[in-house]
Chains A and B, each alone.
Chain A
Amino acid sequence: MVLKIFFPQCCNRADSGLLVGRWISGHDSAVVLAVIHYPFIPGQVKQYIQQMQAQSGVELSVLGSWSLPKEGQEGMESFLRDLSTIFPQERWLQIKRQMGKTGFTCEILNRDQNDQHDDSDNKKKQEKKKEEEEGEEEEKVIFVHYEQRKVMLSQLHPIENGVPDPKTEPPSELRQVFQTVARSQPLFFLDRYDDGPLKSTHWQSEGREASIIMELLKQASVPLCLLISWLLSVWTWICNVRIFSLYPLRFLSSKLSTCVQLSYRTEHLRTLSSAKPATGHTEFMRKSNILVSFLIDVALGLLLISWLYRDDHIRMLANTLVPAADHVAKELEELLQWLMGAPAGLKMNRALDQVLGRFFLYHIHLWISYIHLMSPFIEGILWYGGLSACLGLTFALSLLSDMVALLTFHIYCFYVYGARLYCLKIYGLSSLWRLFRGKKWNVLRQRVDSCSYDLDQLFIGTLLFTILLFLLPTTALYYLVFTLLRLGVVLFQGILHLSVDFINSFPLFAMGLRICRSYRLGEGVKFRVLCEEPGTALHLLMEINPLKCSTVVQTYRTPTYSCYPKDSWAALIKKLFVGELIYPWRHKSTKTD
């Protein structure tokens, strides 16, 4: 049987006293949390421990005694042994250390057996002989040293939240150690330097950290949160006004990415400004991630603004925008003229070609007139639109994406016309091909059956089949050209959305924590041997393994309305072939709970 004692490093040089900690049930281990020094009154110690137990919820108890005799303090051993009778325990640990030596010695007193199991050199051989005769096992002790402050602040991953289910296995030993140290915060308030009935040594004894800024921020955040929540409630009330729930407006606002981003940020701010502090590690991390993302977003947006409003950049942009749109329209016109000829030597049906080409040319002409109508207002729109970047870079990017969508609306229209025509043609052809062979589609059985048609059905069907077949290359070419254009626009918009999504969801705070304070996000522990001498107990140092960066990102990603491809590649190609309209990006809603 091996007894593991988790000993804090800060107590290595503590004066002699009582060990306070917790026995881990189910495993043979104990966690030492603090050392209470002499002089003390046992009744006060017991009262203090009960008080701490009630406050923290950890089953604290006196584990044993610790002796580091300084000059002039001899004869403590018998005194310490007598203490075991005052604090009745199942097992009583007596840990001794000599100044100048690295190893500890530990004696374990069992209450019922009243035997002494000793690890020290002198009695070891005797004990072994005695035990071999009796056939019992010797109890070995391993000291695992840990840095108390780091373990207190660390969180083991994967995170187990909530009340542990009694049916599942109890948490592992390591988890229990970490949980014990983390929850024993009330124990660490009183220090040996405080004026109180008890003097204890723990991590605070190594020097308290000055975090006045944090305290000030904590004090200032309360009224700020109140202000933000009030503003948000006003904003939500405005948004829920009945007039905005009309169908066209609601449809538009769900399509425009700016509105989506706005609602998303509102959600975030609402999470941030809730009055109660974060319960649990996950909520705390999420809040901090949101806050840091938001601040970085706003900072980047302000950077963009400072660049944009300097040196008349807005006027330059506005002056290049209208000629750019003109240029796009001209290119489209040239493309259509090329299609109306004999593009790439393909055989097009001249009449249909002319019809389609003229139709699209008229559309482009309409569009150009619309752009020219809008041109005086472009600068103003850009100026006010650029102001939105002060809410964050994501807003500017969403606005850009929306503007691109609006400017290329004619390409979208062309794509829809071409796709519908092509789709109709493909369906007609497939159905008439079945008629050609004398078969028909059985809708009930979802299969192809033979069918005897009437004479007129056959005649008209064959005529239509011939017509559709010969007109197929023309329609297919128009469809192909406009689909490629549409896919280009979709790709560009997709890049914008992906970058917005990245800014929204990347857990900057968690990454910063992983880089600067890597012990706070722990994946496991590793042990290093400190002192291994035969005769003394084994001393190990427990170091926290930091979490891998990829796991950090995966665990702490803020869930967003991320856009991801709706179809796999095979399904996309099939849809393109048949002529169905494609909407390659799908927005996931944040309301998953």
Chain B
Amino acid sequence: MGPDGAPGPSVPWQKVLWERQPFPDNYVDQRFLEELRRNEGIRQYRYWTVVKEAGFVGQQLSCVAIFISLWLYMEQGLLSPETLLWSSLVCALLGYGLYQSLSSQVESGCEPRTRLADLQSAAIFLSFTFGFSPVLKTLTESVSTDTVYAMSAIMLLAHLVSFPYTHPSPPGSLSLNAALFASVCLASRLPGALHTFAMLSCALMVFALWPCLLQRVRDIAPTHFTGVCLGVCVGGVGGLGLQSPGGAVLLALALGSVTLLCPLLLVRLQRHKDNIQGPWDEAEIHEDLDHGRGT
């Protein structure tokens, strides 16, 4: 039964079922599937744009690598906690200054945080960490090393997987918590309480504060953003390479595949996309996102 079938009666066929028609119920005429739409709303990716976006993912991977290499240095005694503390402080101040200068260029619609509030937060962090560092140091004393390494690895993986790559500021709960949990596990393996404190401050900077700065850079100066990502990746590979060349090679391979190979695959496979839409789809309710979000 179709347009090639025997010529039907002279009454035109109507696409309704409530009227008795001389056609059978499953009859279709030549206007069949004319409302079919293929690949509607498909985006054409351009390779280098995708590479730039994927750079962010690679950057985060390198961040984790940098953190791990710092920890390795501390554990082997190559890096003293005081050095790390002072350098973290300096970096934090520099980053804060950069953040403020960048935000002064943009009219921020939301409530700006006063300097006092920032100072208060910083004081809370530091005092809390310093106060709890003896407790944190002895936390995993009786747990075997393998268990600690396994837990940290799983938690860092969870951090990478659940990281909010689109809007990293404010940082998502699960990713930040997982990263902090891993850093506490690792930091408790270090020889002294000051080491623990230094490690935790470093972790806070790397996992909590750095993404905020990066997002601000990305919003305001996209060209510089790419440069920063590249710099971080190189730093990660280099830092790891000094400790274990094998690790560096692995990291380089991972970075390469994430930033170069996967976009290629995405662009290539885009061609094979075959979506069909039509009036038979479920109705979608489009909410206006700006009105729906609470303050």
Name which of A437, A458, A459, A462 has the most chain B CB atoms within 10 A of its CB: A459
- Does A453 count as interface, using CB distance less than 8 angstroms? yes
Q: Which residue of B lies closest to A439 (CB)?
A: B173
- Does A115 count as interface, using CB distance less than 8 angstroms? no
For the complex formed, measure the closest distance between the CB of A359 and the CB atoms of chain B, giving whole angstroms.
17
Name which of B139, B177, B181 has the most chain A CB atoms within 10 A of its CB: B177
Measured between beta carbons, the chain A residues less than 8 angstroms from B208 are 455, 458-459
Contact with A along B145-171 (1 / 0, CB 8 A): 000000000000000000000000011
A460's partner among B128, B142, B173 (CB-CB below 8 A) is: B128
A455's partner among B129, B170, B181 (CB-CB below 8 A) is: B170
For window 328-365 of A, CB contacts with B under 8 Å fall at: 342, 347-351
Measured between beta carbons, the chain B residues less than 8 angstroms from A436 are 173-174, 177, 181
Measured between beta carbons, the chain A residues less than 8 angstroms from B135 are 351, 467
Question: Quick one: given A462-B181, A463-B184, are A438 and B173 in contact (CB under 8 Å)?
Answer: yes
Q: Which residue of A lies closest to B185 (CB)?
A: A466
- Cβ of A462 and Cβ of B139 under 8 Å apart? no
- Cβ of B139 and Cβ of A350 under 8 Å apart? no
Q: Which residue of A lies closest to B178 (CB)?
A: A436
Q: Which residue of B lies closest to A350 (CB)?
A: B141
Question: Quick one: given A349-B142, A463-B128, A463-B180, are A437 and B174 in contact (CB under 8 Å)?
Answer: yes
Q: Which residue of A lies closest to B144 (CB)?
A: A347
For the complex formed, measure the closest distance between the CB of A117 and the CB atoms of chain B, giving whole angstroms.
84
- Does A165 count as interface, using CB distance less than 8 angstroms? no
- Cβ of A459 and Cβ of B132 under 8 Å apart? no
- Does B176 count as interface, using CB distance less than 8 angstroms? yes
Q: Which residue of A lies closest to B180 (CB)?
A: A462
Question: Quick one: given A456-B121, A456-B124, A459-B125, are A466 and B139 in contact (CB under 8 Å)?
Answer: yes
Contact with B along A431-452 (1 / 0, CB 8 A): 0000111100000000000001
- Does B138 count as interface, using CB distance less than 8 angstroms? yes
- Cβ of B143 and Cβ of A347 under 8 Å apart? yes
Measured between beta carbons, the chain A residues less than 8 angstroms from B204 are 459
- Cβ of B139 and Cβ of A460 under 8 Å apart? no
B173's partner among A348, A453, A456 (CB-CB below 8 A) is: A453
- Cβ of B138 and Cβ of A350 under 8 Å apart? yes
For the complex formed, measure the closest distance between the CB of A142 and the CB atoms of chain B, giving whole angstroms.
80
A351's partner among B121, B138, B184, B185 (CB-CB below 8 A) is: B138
For the complex formed, measure the closest distance between the CB of A354 and the CB atoms of chain B, giving whole angstroms.
11
For window 104-135 of B, CB contacts with A under 8 Å fall at: 121, 124-125, 128-129, 132, 135
For the complex formed, measure the closest distance between the CB of A351 and the CB atoms of chain B, giving whole angstroms.
5
Measured between beta carbons, the chain B residues less than 8 angstroms from A438 are 172-174
| Bound Cα distance A349, B174 (Å) | 27
| Bound Cα distance A466, B185 (Å) | 8
| Bound Cα distance A435, B185 (Å) | 19
- Does B140 count as interface, using CB distance less than 8 angstroms? yes
- Cβ of B136 and Cβ of A466 under 8 Å apart? yes
Contact with B along A410-449 (1 / 0, CB 8 A): 0000000000000000000000000111100000000000
- Cβ of A349 and Cβ of B139 under 8 Å apart? yes
- Cβ of A350 and Cβ of B142 under 8 Å apart? yes
Measured between beta carbons, the chain B residues less than 8 angstroms from A465 are 177, 181
Measured between beta carbons, the chain B residues less than 8 angstroms from A462 are 176-177, 180-181, 184
| Bound Cα distance A464, B93 (Å) | 27
Chain B count of residues within 8 A CB distance of the other chain: 27
For the complex formed, measure the closest distance between the CB of A524 and the CB atoms of chain B, giving whole angstroms.
71
Q: Which residue of A lies closest to B135 (CB)?
A: A467
For the complex formed, measure the closest distance between the CB of B236 and the CB atoms of chain A, giving whole angstroms.
24
- Does A470 count as interface, using CB distance less than 8 angstroms? yes
| Bound Cα distance A452, B174 (Å) | 11
For the complex formed, measure the closest distance between the CB of B294 and the CB atoms of chain A, giving whole angstroms.
10
- Cβ of B181 and Cβ of A452 under 8 Å apart? no
| Bound Cα distance A467, B139 (Å) | 7
| Bound Cα distance A154, B181 (Å) | 80
- Cβ of B174 and Cβ of A463 under 8 Å apart? no
For window 48-85 of B, CB contacts with A under 8 Å fall at: none
For window 16-43 of B, CB contacts with A under 8 Å fall at: none
| Bound Cα distance A347, B180 (Å) | 23
- Cβ of B184 and Cβ of A435 under 8 Å apart? no
Q: Which residue of A lies closest to B294 (CB)?
A: A452
For the complex formed, measure the closest distance between the CB of B255 and the CB atoms of chain A, giving whole angstroms.
28
Measured between beta carbons, the chain B residues less than 8 angstroms from A456 are 121, 124-125
Contact with A along B167-206 (1 / 0, CB 8 A): 0001111101100110011000000000000000000100
For the complex formed, measure the closest distance between the CB of A248 and the CB atoms of chain B, giving whole angstroms.
40
Q: Which residue of B lies closest to A470 (CB)?
A: B139
Measured between beta carbons, the chain B residues less than 8 angstroms from A347 are 142-143
Question: Quick one: given A349-B141, A452-B170, A459-B204, are A467 and B132 in contact (CB under 8 Å)?
Answer: yes
| Bound Cα distance A471, B171 (Å) | 28
For the complex formed, measure the closest distance between the CB of A346 and the CB atoms of chain B, giving whole angstroms.
9
For the complex formed, measure the closest distance between the CB of A343 and the CB atoms of chain B, giving whole angstroms.
12
- Cβ of A437 and Cβ of B173 under 8 Å apart? yes
| Bound Cα distance A348, B142 (Å) | 7
For the complex formed, measure the closest distance between the CB of A344 and the CB atoms of chain B, giving whole angstroms.
13
- Cβ of A463 and Cβ of B139 under 8 Å apart? no
For the complex formed, measure the closest distance between the CB of B147 and the CB atoms of chain A, giving whole angstroms.
9
Measured between beta carbons, the chain A residues less than 8 angstroms from B170 are 452, 454-455
| Bound Cα distance A470, B185 (Å) | 10
- Cβ of A463 and Cβ of B138 under 8 Å apart? no
Question: Quick one: given A463-B128, A466-B181, are A458 and B139 in contact (CB under 8 Å)?
Answer: no
| Bound Cα distance A351, B141 (Å) | 10
- Cβ of A458 and Cβ of B129 under 8 Å apart? no
For the complex formed, measure the closest distance between the CB of A428 and the CB atoms of chain B, giving whole angstroms.
15
Q: Which residue of A lies closest to B122 (CB)?
A: A456
A458's partner among B128, B136, B140, B173 (CB-CB below 8 A) is: B173
Measured between beta carbons, the chain A residues less than 8 angstroms from B124 are 456, 460
Name which of B140, B174, B176, B204 has the most chain A CB atoms within 10 A of its CB: B176
For window 365-409 of A, CB contacts with B under 8 Å fall at: none
- Cβ of A458 and Cβ of B176 under 8 Å apart? yes
For the complex formed, measure the closest distance between the CB of A431 and the CB atoms of chain B, giving whole angstroms.
14
For window 453-500 of A, CB contacts with B under 8 Å fall at: 453-456, 458-463, 465-467, 470-471
For the complex formed, measure the closest distance between the CB of A342 and the CB atoms of chain B, giving whole angstroms.
8
For the complex formed, measure the closest distance between the CB of B206 and the CB atoms of chain A, giving whole angstroms.
13
| Bound Cα distance A462, B178 (Å) | 8
> What are 26 A-B residue pairs whose CB atoms fall within 8 Å in the complex?
A342-B142, A347-B142, A348-B142, A349-B138, A350-B138, A350-B142, A438-B172, A438-B173, A452-B170, A454-B170, A455-B208, A456-B125, A458-B180, A459-B176, A460-B124, A460-B128, A461-B177, A462-B177, A463-B128, A463-B180, A465-B177, A466-B181, A467-B132, A467-B135, A470-B143, A471-B139
| Shortest Cβ-Cβ A-B pairs, 7 listed | A438-B173, A347-B142, A462-B180, A470-B139, A462-B177, A466-B184, A436-B177
* Apart from A436-B173, A437-B174, A463-B136, 4 more pairs, CB < 8 Å: A347-B143, A349-B138, A452-B173, A466-B185
